[in-house]
Structures are given as structure tokens and as C-alpha cells.
Amino acid sequence: MDLQYGDGSHKIFGMENFGNTCYCNSILQCLYYTENFRIQLVKHKLTTHDQKLKVSGVKPHGFTTKYDQLVQKRLREQGKTNEERPKSNRKGSIFGLKFNSPSVNVVENKNNYIIKAKNCDSISLEQRIKISKSREFQKLDLFVTRPSNQVVKQSNRNDYSQSSSMLLNDVQQQTDQEGSINSNSSVIIVGIPKPEINLLNPVNPFNANPNSDQRKRSALINGPIINLDTSLQLPTEQKDFTALLYALKDLFESMIENQSTIGVVSPNYFIAKLKEKNHLFRQNNMHHDAHEFFNYLINEIIESLNKVIGVENNWCNDIFQGLITNETKCLLCETVTSKHEFFLDLSIDIPPGEGAYSLNHSLNNFSKMETLTNQNKFYCNTCSSLQEAVKTIRLKKLPQVLVINLKRFKYDEVKDKMVKLFDSISYPPKLRLFSTSDEQHLLYELYALVIHIGGGPMHGHYVSICKIKAGLWLLFDDETVELVEDSYVMRFFGNGPGLASAYILFYQKCVENEEYGFDPDSIYTGDDNSILSMDDIEDLPNNVEVESENSSIASSEPPPKKDVFKNFKFTNGDEESTGKKSWVGSLKRKDPPPPLERNASTSSTTSQTEKRKSIFGFRKK
């Protein structure tokens, strides 16, 4: 069944923060750009309905009401000021605007800074190529900031989560000096400052280098705001056990069907239902954990679908659920005991120490053998006693979407409290895993990640970085959205600078042929017999004589397909002295026999454009 109003893959919406709800916003953005999840959710109980071009809500939006009141107040003050001010003898221009009006200069300045994406030369060549292939993205306005070249002490204002209701309390224009486009520039999509042309003293003043609060205020003022303060479902569908399922469906549907490509969504009803169903999320002044929220939400959706459509038709299980096998082998009788467990994500320990580790290394440790001895002996039912054993965890079935949680928060016995780990762990853009059920290597691609900014688990801020269908990476910080380069995604290994580190990684299974750009089975492997298969022989014309009834071509079975990767092993890219074969990671050529020795050439393409810095102020080491 096709979606009536499209799949929404090109829509870009920020999400309003109601006070410490960044944990929710970051996860919802990652789920929205999980294409299969978004499509299946919108298709669930799909009915023919009018397009939701705009959603104003039952009650007026709080921010909009406050903003309108502030604009009216400024207009009244402006009217009194104009009456007291002596009239100028100079004539106005033919357009009816005064020569000395600051609004004219502001509008002209603003128009020079805002440019269509298809005409933006300030971004990298790779980004421009991707934009040229996306008609929807070409039409978007981009705003490239111009930060001052002077060293300015920046306040660390991105490690906390602020409610949108506070953004209009102190409206002041930033006084930082304007600079030029440089490596510290950001490319804003949602949150472009657009001052009111009818106000001499705008509520949303123009700024060439707006800070985080100014961007969020601009995003809400520009709109449109999808005000979801009630359920959009029929009364028959509004049941308690499916409340979160349909609240999320309303959220995604409203974003997909909105008449605007960009804007801000206000998930008021979803947050209200979340707090009703789980008391852990009711405290607004608490810093909640994004990983806990993800697990709770997916489990709620799975349970709701089990009751509505049945376990066998549960599409959410097909997307996120994998299977691991715990195998325990008794070293005395060699009996193997297996236990299967389903998982929605893999929680990976971060190795302690100053050394840098990779995700591949950590996944290898996740599945390595563990000897159960001494006090940890295994009770063997065959031996009817405690025996030494070997325990192994294997990935039996891998899901379509692999979610990996990096366990950055742990209890410190010395400090007697939970602390955040800043040990470095690198994550690859492509991840190869081995499934024991079909004995195949599966290739996964990173498409979204949640970043935690802060010095500890009890405070901080969450943002998300997602890859949209156009192949571009976007940074979502509550209400605002920013375009970032591919290299920016790989900056959050945990070892700084700054307090930002990757917390949750989203990988999706990808098709090998599409990733390589060719069919690996079609490669010539060096065997002459592999050139002509039995199917080719049957298609030969009648005038072609076969040499003999017993020839290798006529009588032998077609040779088995040789693995094109037989001369490769998959490692994490680092040579290790242990000599263990790694089953995840990148491609590495084994050492071939001396007579056929070849040096594999490696190359890398590095963008020659200047790297930019996001609003968080992190520099690449």
C-alpha cells in the first residue's frame, strides 16, 4: 500500500523542548529517519483522510501567543515614539520606505545572507553534488553564519536543556562582531533569524552569528509550528495500551503531510501520554536517559502491535529485534547448553584506560569466550554438579536496524556516584558483522547517532545527527536543524575536546551490491572454468561443437562460485599481535604467497574545503 501523501523522507522539522525533553527529541528524530520504521508506522491502520496541511491544535500555542503579545507591545511603543519624534524633511523612496529606516538595512542584510541551497557555494563540493540530486533540498534556504575571527570566550550553554517558554524572556541582540565565512561557520536550515520588517526594534533581531537560543527562538517564530496537543485518531482507536503508538503515528503523519518542508513540531500530546504511562519521565527538572527512553518506547510499541495485529505480523520486531545465543560448554562431559535471548540493542562496555579502542574491538570482546571457574563454576545437569565451563555469546540473528549503546555511565566506587566515561571508542561509518545462523557477513551503515553533551549522567543535553535520504547529514538540536559535513559525524569518539560524546549509534543493513557499485559475484576470480558456466553452454548456438562428451565443460558440474573476498579478512583496521581473526570491521587484504605478492594501494579523498564548526564549538583533533 502506497502512502497517499508521500513518505516524508525530505521533511526537516525541529522539535520543541518543554524543559529537559531533549532525550525524547533526539530519539524521535533518529526513529523518523529510520525509513522502514517511519513507513510501517504510518501505514499501520492507514485510512483515507484529508491531508493535514497544518495542525494548529485545540489551544493556541504558548510560544506563539507570547510572541504575538510582545510584537503588539513593540508596535504600541513604536507608535508613541514616532509621535514624539520630529518628522524628517527628507522624502521617502519610491517604495514607501524611509531612507534612514533601520528595517531597510536589516532586510537587505538578511537577504544577502540567506541563499538557496542549490546556489550555495560556501558548503563542500560533496554536499553540493548531493543537493544537485535532490529537488526538494535545492529549494531550501540556507544561512551560513559569519562568526568573528577574534577569540571570544564562549559560555558553555549547550550542556543543558532549556524550555522554549524561556526563549522570549530576555530578547537582546548579540553584540559580537561580525566576521566572515570561515572554518567556524555553521549552515542553518531551521532557525534562520528573520527580523520583523514592521518593527524598528525587532523581537527577533538579525544576527550574522546567532547563538543557540537565538536560533531556537527564530525557529519557533518562523514556523510553521505543528501544535500536537491532542490525538488525531478516531475515538475508537484511543485506547490506553496503544496511546504512545498512535501518538507517535500522529507525530510522523503531521510532519509528512504538512504543507511546509521545514518547521517545528510540538509533541505536547506525546509527552503528556509518556508521563501518564511512566512515572520515571514525569519530573521536568530531572535529566532523563535517552537510552532508557528508547528501550521503553520500542517495547511499548512492540507490545501494542502484538495486541492489535499479532506477534507474527509485528513489523517492529522485524526491524529492531535480534537474537543472541548463550552457549555454555561443560569442560568435563563437553555437553553444550544453549539459551536464546532476544535483544533490541547491544550495550557495549567501554574499555578503561588511556588507549583508544574501536567499536570493532569492543564487539569482539562482546562475543569472546569466558571461562567459568572457581566461584563462577557452571552447574551441569548432565554431571549433576558444579563444573568448569566455557561460555560464549553469539549473534544468531541480526536485525534490520542495529542499535548500539555505548555504556558511558558507570558507578564509581571511589566517588560513590555515577560518573561519565570519556574514554575514546571509535565507530566506523560501515560495520561488518557475522551472523552464526546463516554464516554470512552482513554490512551495516551508520545513519543516525545520539550525542550526549555534559560532564556527568545527572545533567547535560542530547542532540542527534541523522542522515537523510539525499545523503546529507543534519544536526538536530531541539528546535533547530543544521547541515554538517560527513567528517563532523566522526568527531564524537569521547576523548574531546569538549564534553560531547556518542551515546547511541543506529546502523541499518545495506545491500552489498549498492555499496560496492558492482556485483561481487561477477568478478573474475582467476579460474578459467568460472568464465563459462553451464547456463552459458545451454545458450550456445548449434554450430558450436563441444570438444568431448567427457570434457570439463560438457560433463562436469558447474564449478562452485568462489568467494570474491577469499583473500580478505575483516578486521578493525588495526594490526594486532594476537593474530585473532576479526569478524567485524573494514576490509583488509591477507598476505598472499610470495610469488604473487602485490602491494595494495590505498587512497583517500579528503575534502579540500574548509571544515566548519558547529554551534557546540568542538574542534577536530
Residue 538 included in any domain: no
Which of 452, 481, 516 is a domain's end point?
A: 516
Instruction: List the beta strands (DSSP E) in 68-205.
Output: 114-116, 141-144, 187-190
User: Of all helices (H) and strands (E), which one includes residue 557?
Assistant: none
Q: State the Cα–Cα distance between residues 489 and 502, nearest whole angstrom.
A: 9
Q: Indicate whether 299 and 360 sit together in one domain.
A: no
3-state secondary structure of 290: helix
| Residue 581 counted as domain residue | no
Same-domain status, 328 and 297: no
Of the residues 477, 494, 516, the one at which a domain ends: 516
Q: What is residue 192's predicted lDDT score, i.e. its pLDDT?
A: 92
Q: What is the rounded distance in angstroms from the CA atom of residue 211 to the CA atom of residue 119?
A: 25
CA angle 374-376-377, nearest 5°?
75
pLDDT computed for residue 433 by the predictor: 84
Residues 112 and 129 in one domain: yes
556 within some domain: no
Task: Answer yes or no: do 261 and 287 share one domain.
Answer: yes
Q: What is the 3-state secondary structure (H, E, C) of 359-420?
A: HHHHHHHHCCCEEECHHHCEEECCCCEEECEEEEEEEEECCCEEEEEEECEEEECCCCEEEE
Q: For Cα atoms 594, 595, 596, give the angle at the middle one, nearest 5 degrees.
A: 90
Whether residues 348 and 461 share a domain: the answer is yes
Q: What is the mean pLDDT of each run of 10 residues along the chain (621 residues)?
A: 83 92 95 96 85 86 87 82 48 40 50 85 91 92 81 49 62 57 85 86 85 90 91 78 91 94 94 90 82 95 93 94 90 88 89 73 78 88 91 88 91 81 88 72 92 87 94 95 94 84 94 57 49 47 43 40 41 41 41 46 41 46 44
Does residue 174 share a domain with residue 247?
A: no
Under DSSP, is residue 35 helix (H, G, I), strand (E, B) or coil? helix
Are 196 and 236 contained in the same domain? Answer: no
Q: Is residue 441 part of a domain?
A: yes
Instruction: Note whether 190 and 43 are same-domain residues.
Output: no
Q: Note whether residue 616 is domain-resident.
A: no
**What pLDDT is attached to residue 149?**
64
Q: How many CB atoms lie within 10 A of CB 526?
A: 8
Please identify which residue in the block is written with the cell numbers 563462577: 376
CATH number of the domain to which 394 belongs: 3.90.70.10
Total domains in the fold of the chain = 3
Q: What is the three-class DSSP state of 77? A: helix
Query: What is the spatial distance between Cα 583 and Cα 568, in angstroms, rounded to a whole number?
Result: 11
- Coil, helix or strand at residue 104: helix
Residue numbers of the domain that contains 458? 322-516
Between CA 288 and CA 24 the distance in angstroms is 9
Residues 264 and 116 both lie in one domain: no
332 in a structural domain: yes
405 CA to centre of own chain: 13
Q: How far apart are CA 467 and CA 441, in angstroms?
A: 24
Q: Are residues 393 and 477 in the same domain?
A: yes
pLDDT for the residue numbered 307: 92
Same domain, 371 and 281: no
- Among 454, 481, 516, identify where a domain stops: 516
SS (H, E, C) 220-236: HHHCCEEECCCCCCCHH
Contacts 24+ apart (CB under 8 A), 271-277: 271/18, 271/21, 271/24, 273/243, 273/244, 273/247, 274/24, 274/244, 276/243, 277/240, 277/243, 277/244
Q: What is the pLDDT of residue 266?
A: 94
The predicted structure's pLDDT at residue 94 = 39
* Same domain, residue pair 347 and 425: yes
374 domain residue, yes or no: yes
Asked, for residue 27, whether it belongs to a domain, the answer is: yes
